[in-house]
Amino acid sequence: MSAFRMPGLPERVTIYEVGPRDGLQNEKTIVPVADKAAFIARLAAAGLRTVEATSFVHPKWVPQLADAEELLAVMERAEGVRYPVLVPNERGLDRALRAGVTHIAVFASATESFARRNLNRTVAESLAMFAPVVTRAKENGLWVRAYVSMCFGDPWEGEVPIEQVVSVAVRLMELGCDELSLGDTIGVGTPGHVTALIGALGEAGIGAQRLAVHFHDTYGQALANTLAALRCGVTTVDSSAGGIGGCPYAESATGNLATEDLVWMLHGLGIQTGVDLPALAATSRWMATRLGRPSPSRVVQALPVEEEQ
Amino acid sequence: MSAFRMPGLPERVTIYEVGPRDGLQNEKTIVPVADKAAFIARLAAAGLRTVEATSFVHPKWVPQLADAEELLAVMERAEGVRYPVLVPNERGLDRALRAGVTHIAVFASATESFARRNLNRTVAESLAMFAPVVTRAKENGLWVRAYVSMCFGDPWEGEVPIEQVVSVAVRLMELGCDELSLGDTIGVGTPGHVTALIGALGEAGIGAQRLAVHFHDTYGQALANTLAALRCGVTTVDSSAGGIGGCPYAESATGNLATEDLVWMLHGLGIQTGVDLPALAATSRWMATRLGRPSPSRVVQALPVEEEQ
């Protein structure tokens, strides 16, 4: 298929691949470390230049990623590829530094309810906890991303006011974060809401070039929301290879946007990603066999199966 | 959730509900006529103002809708609701007129391959066949829609040139059709392609107010494409309650855009549809039990189940 460009969209988009971390941590199956390393290597070989590798959250909370140190010790690193690691606190940062990690991510919440449930802290307490993490990370020359969860709706609080998200975002950038990923954790946002939030962040001094968007497909809105974000100048989009991290048919669905569905749209729009789509889909099919269920990605289901996997 | 409007989008969208016809004709289960009538009545009660009811295609080809006459005899008709019926040829038109139908749809193809396989004719022959159908329908005061299949890609021919679609579209409008529905039958289109096609049709004298869009979610692009079409001034969108007409997990997926997923986006954008979303989702859940499989609509899966069904 030819590409058909639309005015006002970027020439190139950076896909921030979250499958090995956000994907696998939300799957029931615990994948062996060798398969995780192979997954990450295949994603890089398929052209992804940012692959979030694992997490230093305590194994009590995320047993799926309890092998973080081991994975970081064995995984190959391709030239020009970033492998960020999630870091929840100073102890996690110590582990990341010992493991030679160069890119980290911290995770905040836009709402008190989710901060309490996910971090067992108020929003203010969690930001105070991140302050020394970000300061020390920057002193050590690390690149720091901040996730903000529940930027559109929250299961306990309903709609999240834009000014509340802006307030948390501004504070995170003041701490020294390099990039901010706006999470629609429950997937309820729509394109006008996305546009309004990115506009408000811009007015608060956080330009679209420092933003990423992280949409969930729980209500089917992820790709339409991505299109709206691209029109606002956002050029970094989070997605999960094969859509892993929550089957849309399961009650526990988190519904990560599938990288393949995103790439289909971007390439159709003539936007460069560097991704080899058949190689990526083959990787997701391979991981699906390890997870014991079909990939929820529409593109993975629709594309013909390649002979060589 | 509040609505967040975006500039350049319409105030109101007409949803052209295709579930009872395009949906049910692509399901394995043959639904009894009483359930079809109840389905249509519930869709109208949920606020849909256009509900394509059935088809006069020969039962040999579409056994699921072999009860068209019986359905039209027993179904209730709500005030202000249109119930178009698909009509393949003059014989179908005769049956429609005898049944008191006031709105019909004919279906053409933008490609020779699909015209041959679906209509057993060349594109030119099929247009010649429609000419007397449309002429007689208009003489009898009927409203006539024309579907054009394979407007973006074709499984045998690959990408479909825009000028080829424009040529078929212009001819159908010259025959006297009132509305043209642009079908992405295999779901491969992307937002820039949609924008380019609608622009080319406009240059050929077919304005967006006479167009509808009919997207399939086979590659997950349907809602992003809809957003692009709305920006071009299109105000009629085809969709299928609960996404019936092809499970995305089945090989035979046609993947109709789910009306609920569409309504979620439109209402989030502050665009009026007249649809009561919980009532619609309850209707789709009810139909899903009759079809023996869960609704593929993301919104139907995500919304809490209402007590009263």
Mutate which: B298, B299, B300, B305, vs A, most A CBs within 10 A? B298
ipTM: 0.95
Q: Please give the residue of chain B at the shortest CA–CA distance from A295.
A: B249
Contact across the interface for B261 and A218, Cβ inside 8 Å: no
Angle CA(B228)–CA(B231)–CA(B235) in degrees, nearest 5? 100
DSSP-derived letter for residue A85 is E
Chain B: give the shortest CA distance to residue A267, in Å: 9
- Residues of chain A found within 8 Å of residue B187, distances taken between Cβ atoms: 302
Residue A203: exposure state from Cβ atoms within 10 A (0-12, 13-18, ≥19): exposed
> Would you place residue A293 in the very low, low, confident or very high pLDDT band (cuts 50, 70, 90)?
confident
Per-residue pLDDT of chain B (309 residues; tens, 9 = 90+): 899 999 999 999 999 999 999 999 988 899 999 999 999 999 999 999 999 999 999 999 999 999 999 999 999 999 999 999 999 999 999 999 999 999 999 999 999 999 999 889 999 999 999 999 999 999 999 999 999 999 999 999 999 999 999 999 999 999 999 999 999 999 999 999 999 999 999 999 999 999 999 999 999 999 999 999 999 999 999 999 999 986 444 444 558 999 999 999 999 999 999 999 999 999 999 999 999 988 989 999 999 886 544
Average confidence (pLDDT) over A142-161: 97
Q: Is the pLDDT of residue A141 over 70?
A: yes
Using CA atoms, how far apart are residues B70 and B60, in angstroms rounded to an integer?
A: 17
B159–A248 C-beta distance less than 8 A: no
- C-alpha to C-alpha distance for A28 and A25, rounded to whole angstroms: 8
Chain A positions touching B218 (Cβ under 8 A) are 298, 302
- CB–CB contact B191 A268 (8 Å): yes
Which residues from chain A sit within 8 angstroms of residue B248, using beta carbons?
Answer: 298, 301
Identity of the residue in A193, A218, A264 whose CB atom sits nearest the CB atom of B221: A264
Instruction: Report how far apart, in Å, the C-alpha atoms of A267 and of each of A15, A179, A256, A272, B69 are.
Output: 12, 24, 20, 6, 46
* Pick from B3, B4, B219: CB nearest A264: B219
Residues from chain B that touch A189, judged by Cβ atoms under 8 A, are 268
Do A191 and A228 meet the contact criterion of CB atoms below 8 Å apart?
yes
Out of B219, B223, B301, name the one closest to residue A248 (CB): B301
User: For residue B257, what is the nearest residue in chain A, using CA coordinates?
Assistant: A220
| Domain B14-302, CATH | 3.20.20.70
Looking at residue A248, its pLDDT comes to 43
User: Residue B227 burial by CB count (10 A; 0-12/13-18/19+): exposed, middle or buried?
Assistant: buried
pLDDT tens digits along A10-42: 999 999 999 999 999 988 899 999 999 999 999
